[in-house]
Chain A
Amino acid sequence: MPTVHVEKDRCKGCELCTRVCPEQALGMSEKINAKGYFYPVAKEADKCTGCRRCVLMCPDEAIQVEVKGKRTAPPEALTGAPLHYCPGCTHGVIHSLIGDAIDHLGIREKTVGIAPVGCSVLAYNYFNVDMQQASHGRALALATGIKRGRPDLAVFTYQGDGDLASIGMAETVHAANRGEKVTAIFVNNAIYGMTGGQMAPTTLPGQITSTTRAGRDVKHAGEPIRMVELLNELQTPAYLTRVSVHDPKHILAARKAIRKAFKYQMDGVCFSLVEILSTCPTGWGQTPHDACGWVVDKMTPYFPLGDKKVPEAA
């Protein structure tokens, strides 16, 4: 019988695992953990089929599942340090997917990651690879410098919407246009999380933020920027795709896209950018579960999922 292992003190009580469990095998604890959160417990353990949806959905690497003696494990390309993100924020899910891609390609010892400014400013604590910290928006300029100096390395940036699509727009467009053989992971949660929930270049029309208190007025603030579509206008070959991590099925699709993005780089094929729709329960003022629903209902109509550009060599 499959067993669910919960590292309870890593848990921040977001309840996303219990929501994605198709068998309702998981419930929340009666007591709180060391952080002060209720955590999942296998209340009806015999119902678990070992589908691992809870493992994929957990943003804090707090759940592992054992099936026939084989236990899932967090990627080696992650340090295992507890993540500082808010409960239910899907940054952690994306970290795991990048770790997975690095492990999958066996490139941990030749990867350099670039941490941005924003909520993921401390990303260098979490990726178990050489890391550089960039100033706001310049991650792809750093990536260019590293890759041009050391073409043998795998270089990726991890950037939010303010970083990549606002202050770093020029660096993004030109790195893509030069066809730098690097991988940009673009986390779009339609808000500035770290500075307290201000409008992002990707904030939706009418969306309330701390600098658009009556909702984004497109007459003054313009329409949200679709980065994948914008970069698609460039003539340089690239891999441009948009994915989401609001449920396990989409997480698997995102995993595939991120693996591909790294593979294109390692094969010297092209620049790649994976835009990932991500949640900000704190900034949006929603429960983690509702935030995942908001991604589906509000974000995906404006930011359609799927590959926008795939290099011909593929």
Chain B
Amino acid sequence: MEKKLMKGCEAIGEAAICAGARLFFGYPITPQNEIPEYLSSRMPQVGGTFVQAESEVAASNMLYGASGAGKRVITSSSSPGISLMGEALSYMAGAELPAVIVSIMRAGPGLGGILPSQSDYFQATKGGGHGDYRVMVLAPETVQEAVDHTIKAFDYADKYRNPVIILADGILGQMMEPVTFPEPVRPEDLPEKPWATTGAKGRERNIVNSLYLNPDVLEERNWQLVKKYEAMREDVEFDTYHLDDEVDVMIVAYGTVARIARTAVDTMREQGMRVGLFRPVTVYPFPSDALAEAADKAGAVLTSELSTGQMLEDVKAAIAGKRPVEFFGRVGGNLMAPEEIVEQVTALMERQGRSVA
């Protein structure tokens, strides 16, 4: 398979086409503009449609409409824009509509800045919109993984009839890496969606809706949705690095920070330190069981994020007090250097009374 050097955002755009998506609705916002820019010229080449909407509110509701009509659809945005998409996300989850939303995180709160961040973990995994709903969230570490996740996200969205978020930061969106693409899916080969509003010809009419005025019916519906969210656990993904044997410290990190942590682990391993990395790949559903199991073989845990401590809550919940869990974060658009992680791990080991070798 031919390797291409591509920018993360453009690779995500090409991956959407590869997955058979022919509709993109979006609104410009830094640092993800290369996705709409790329697709504005690429979609027409494959008979697809690109619409620059008047706002993220409108773009995400166009997504709702097109998804309701049975089409594979994608949008992308960054933090403040994803906030505006919270409305449609909730409605799509309520109406059980598949859609792929790419969230290229920048630093907040408010207008914040345009540099990379992981401060929208809560927004993606715990809500974003109103109501008791969840969306599947994939957190790629490399441009290749961003491609693979985007393609997989469409399948998961259809499988669960639910929105799926690709959660990446500005670094992954902006950097170039070699990527390969699988054989493209032809949209006409995708299975029909019998629930979609495609015209009530030869069948009962279909209604795409999230309104249930009867509290008993709505309660039942909420529990049905919970069953679906629980079923997503069968697609939980995680990755480990140097965790085959016991370690003194296990680092937990996702996305770009996992890459930085890998370098830190290499440095520490060279120095003879017993350190490894656990990387959640799906951050919803969170790989809680696997993480708890891995923690059994670790002396202590260091969670590192580009936030003030968001995934940290899921890590602590999974480990449930069995091991000390500490945190190291950088925010505002700043990154940590591998050396800073080494320092943090060393300090943690000293506090734990473990030999740094």
Contact = CB atoms under 8 A, between A and B. Distances in A.
Given A130-B198, A130-B206, A148-B49, A171 B61 contact: yes
Contacts of B349: none
A143 interface: yes
The B interface, classified by DSSP as helix, strand, loop or mixed, is mixed
A144 B60 CA distance: 11
A194 to B, nearest CB: 12
A145 B73 contact: yes
A119 B319 CA distance: 50
B23 A145 contact: yes
Contacts of B88: 135, 138
Nearest to A143: B65
Interface in B43-88: 49, 51, 53-55, 57-59, 61-71, 73, 87-88
A121 B213 CA distance: 11
A110 B65 contact: no
A271 interface: no
B201 interface: yes
Contacts of A150: 69-71, 198
Contacts of A134: 61, 64, 91
A174 B53 contact: yes
A130 B61 contact: no
Contacts of A32: none
B205 A128 contact: yes
A182 B54 CA distance: 17
A294 to B, nearest CB: 30
B304 to A, nearest CB: 38
A110 B198 CA distance: 7
Contact of B200 (A115, A122, A129): A129
A287 interface: no
Contact of B65 (A108, A109, A146): A146
A148 B199 contact: no
Given A112-B197, A142-B64, A145-B73, A174 B207 contact: no
Given A109-B200, A130-B205, A130-B207, A148 B58 contact: no
Contact of A133 (B53, B66, B73, B210): B210
A153 interface: yes
A132 B63 CA distance: 13
Query: Nearest 6 CB-CB pairs, A to B?
Result: A145-B65, A142-B65, A141-B61, A145-B66, A130-B197, A145-B62
Interface of A: 108-112, 114-115, 121-122, 124, 128-135, 138, 141-146, 148-150, 153, 170-171, 173-174, 178
